[in-house]
Amino acid sequence: MALHPRFSENRWIYLYFTTRAKDKLINRVVRYSLNNDGLSQKKIIIDNIPGAANHNGGRISFGPEGYLYITTGDAGNASLAQDINSLAGKILRIKDDGSIPSDNPFNNAVYSYGHRNPQGLAWDRKGRLWATEHGRSGFLSGLDELNLIEKGKNYGWPIIQGNEKKKGMVTPVAQSGPDETWAPAGIAFWDNSLIFGGLRGESLYRAIITDKTKVSLKAYFRQKFGRIRAIILAPDGYLYFTTSNTDGRGITRPNDDKLIRINPKILN
């Protein structure tokens, strides 16, 4: 879900959701007008994004220039991530009405490609876009990523993983390694740091930006709250994040799931 930057004026709210069309799963982003606690004036902004039970993307957020960014998973078909004509395995960028910005790199909605399952978007104080991304899964889990996203760049999936390098492809700024799994989800920027939730990692992570493309990573609240998914830095200066323990993959705790509020200054 995302609110339009001028929500107080136009009351536009954007939702990314999965549905079934012609016996296959697809994703779409729909814009509504939110008034009197109800939704009206439905408008499909982008449609027919390949969907699946896993690797389904789904984070949407408006960037500093007012465009809407959308993360999409590879929908279980890794080869789609390298196809610039497919909407799967990408970070997309569109205008608030669904039209394509004139400076998009491939004359379509694709902004960056070679992604497996990006789950979080945040901009730092320099206006640079960062994204969290799930690495491989199953028996060989791990190699989750924190990426600095640039227009038109190829982030390598499924050709390179972890710290591997290949000409024309981008290696992540940070990755979890083969022996640890973050399963990173939502991400927020605070005090020259990127704060993101871990699902399988069951932690809140802080990646302190130490150089233009380097970070120092710390973990907090390990296993205290369970799986951590969405996170935002609110106007009141506090971080709000949600747990995701009742989704069938976590251990349910009393009164789950929760919305948790913390002062980010405790993350030292």
Q: Is the pTM of this model over 0.75?
A: yes
**Mean pLDDT of the 98-114 span:** 98
The CATH number given to whatever domain includes residue 70 is: 2.120.10.30
Residue 38 counted as domain residue: yes
**Mean pLDDT of the 38-44 span:** 97
User: Which residue range is the domain that position 115 belongs to?
Assistant: 1-122+147-165
Residue 48 counted as domain residue: yes
Number of domain units in the chain: 1
pLDDT for 268 equals: 84
Residue 141 predicted with pLDDT over 90: no
> Of 4, 55, 115, 134, which is the active-site residue?
55
pLDDT for 137 equals: 82
b/e for 82-121, b at 16 or more Cβ within 10 A? bebebbbbbbbbbebeeebeeebbeeebbbbbbbbbbbbb
Residue 57 counted as domain residue: yes
Residue 6 counted as domain residue: yes
pLDDT for 104 equals: 98
Phi–psi pair at 217, nearest 5 degrees: -105, 135
Q: Determine whether 55 is an active site residue.
A: yes
Residue 12 counted as domain residue: yes
Residue 85 counted as domain residue: yes
Amino acid of residue 151 = K
Residue 156 counted as domain residue: yes
- Please write the tens of the pLDDT for every residue from 45-94: 999 999 999 899 999 999 999 999 999 999 999 999 999 999 999 999 99
pLDDT for 103 equals: 98
Residue 194 counted as domain residue: no
Share of the chain above pLDDT 70, in %: 100
- Please write the tens of the pLDDT for every residue from 162-212: 999 999 999 999 999 999 999 999 999 999 999 999 999 999 999 999 998
